[in-house]
């Protein structure tokens, strides 16, 4: 989304953040040699501390992990595929009770994109230890339900099937009513090598406060910023996901981001726009909308 200028959703792309760096000479030209040297040393010290903080932030473990299985199902067969997929529900419900699984769901894309996968099975777990327990439980389930697995495989294109493990680094959520089928608004973008920490800093400074208020005001159920925890794709992919009660909530989300963007001083808007576009791979941004036809949390 492009919120701050266009607002995942439109999904929003986190964009605003720090301004461009200034050359050290800009701070020291008006000082005598000793004063200039002292100021330069202080600035380097500050930069070292900031860089260390960013490095630590980038190395922090994700808050939780999500296993995602993507499938391409022919038009008209989505509902039948989902019904078959619900066969996993008793197992996953037990794993929620046992504390292994935090949440699970099945998402069906609203927008048809030629050649792309259109259904996602996802399971959220606390960490890799829980992921290991989930994998073993699913393997045993598949052995015991070979007919079901054969039917699922027959309905999906094996050439496009893709498994992912993503880590969530930023998030907030409120409870969704039982039986909810939320609309998921995705903003997908690829960040240039070495710029991920800056990208997340921009998100925390400009996007996260808006999203936190939308959660508090019960406009949305949740949001999260995800990256791959195990890289099966070209590095740098970021997903910003906003989970909404319905598609109509998107109007309120975009209005909130537009208001926040307009409230920034003109100079700050220009600097953050420039910085954002400098951090992302040109042409990499994509949006998507899906419906969680199955949605269960602990």
Q: Is the pTM of this model over 0.95?
A: no
Question: In which band, very low, low, confident or very high, does the pLDDT at 233 lie, cut at 50, 70 and 90?
Answer: very high
Residue 20 included in any domain: no
Residue 103 included in any domain: yes
Which residue in 117, 122, 106, 114 sits closest to 157, CA to CA?
Answer: 117
CATH number at residue 102: 3.30.70.100
Query: Please, how many CA atoms are within 13 Å of residue 266, restricted to the half-sphere of its CB?
Result: 0
Would you state the pLDDT for residue 241? 98
Per DSSP bridges, beta strands 162-173 and 103-109 are unpaired
98 contacts: CB under 8 Å, gap ≥ 6? none
Structural domains counted in the chain: 1
Buried b (16+ CB within 10 A) or exposed e, 91-107: bbeebbeeebbbbbbbb
Q: Is the pLDDT of residue 64 over 70?
A: yes
Residue 230 included in any domain: yes
Residue 48 included in any domain: no
Residue 279 included in any domain: yes
Question: In which band, very low, low, confident or very high, does the pLDDT at 119 lie, cut at 50, 70 and 90?
Answer: very high
Tokens matching residue 155: 């309905």
Q: Is the pLDDT of residue 141 over 80?
A: yes
Residue 177 structural domain: 61-297
d(CA 295, CA 105): 4
* In contact, 232 and 162? CB cutoff 8 Å: yes
Residue 215 included in any domain: yes
d(CA 73, CA 81): 8
What 3-state DSSP class applies to 172? strand
Tokens matching residue 96: 């929620």
Residue 28 sits at φ, ψ, to 5 deg, of -115, -5
Give the model confidence (pLDDT) of 20-33 as tens digits.
232 233 223 333 33
- The mean pLDDT of 127-142, rounded to a whole number, is 98
Q: Is the pLDDT of residue 6 over 70?
A: no
Angle at 133 between CA 131 and CA 134, to 5 degrees: 60
Residue 164 included in any domain: yes
d(CA 161, CA 194): 30
Residue 77 included in any domain: yes
What 3-state DSSP class applies to 191? strand
Would you state the pLDDT for residue 36? 37
């Amino acid at each position: 989304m492009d919120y701050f200028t266009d607002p995942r959703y439109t999904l929003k792309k986190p964009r605003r953040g720090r301004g461009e760096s200034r050359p050290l000479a800009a701070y020291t030209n008006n000082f005598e040699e000793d004063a200039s040297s002292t100021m330069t040393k202080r600035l380097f010290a500050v930069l070292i501390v900031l860089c260390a903080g960013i490095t630590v932030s980038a190395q922090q473990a994700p808050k939780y992990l999500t296993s995602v299985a993507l499938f391409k199902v022919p038009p008209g067969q989505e509902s039948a595929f989902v019904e078959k997929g619900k066969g996993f529900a008793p197992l996953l419900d037990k794993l929620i009770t046992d504390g292994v699984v935090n949440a699970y769901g099945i998402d069906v894309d609203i927008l048809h994109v030629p050649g792309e996968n259109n259904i996602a099975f996802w399971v959220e777990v606390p960490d890799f230890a829980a992921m290991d327990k989930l994998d073993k439980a699913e393997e045993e389930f598949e052995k015991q339900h070979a007919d079901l697995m054969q039917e699922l495989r027959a309905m999906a294109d094996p050439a496009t099937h893709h498994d992912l493990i993503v880590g969530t680094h930023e998030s907030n959520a409120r409870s969704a009513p039982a039986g909810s089928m939320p609309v998921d608004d995705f903003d997908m973008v690829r960040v240039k090598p070495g710029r991920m920490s800056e990208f997340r800093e921009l998100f925390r400074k400009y996007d996260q406060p808006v999203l936190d208020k939308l959660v508090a005001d019960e406009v949305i159920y949740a949001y999260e910023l995800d990256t791959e925890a195990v890289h099966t794709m070209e590095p740098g992919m970021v997903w910003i996901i906003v989970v909404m009660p319905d598609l109509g909530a998107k109007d309120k989300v975009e209005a909130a981001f537009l208001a926040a963007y307009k409230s920034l001083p003109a100079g700050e808007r220009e600097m953050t726009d420039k910085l954002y576009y400098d951090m992302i791979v040109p042409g990499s941004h994509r949006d998507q909308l899906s419906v969680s036809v199955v949605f269960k949390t602990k």
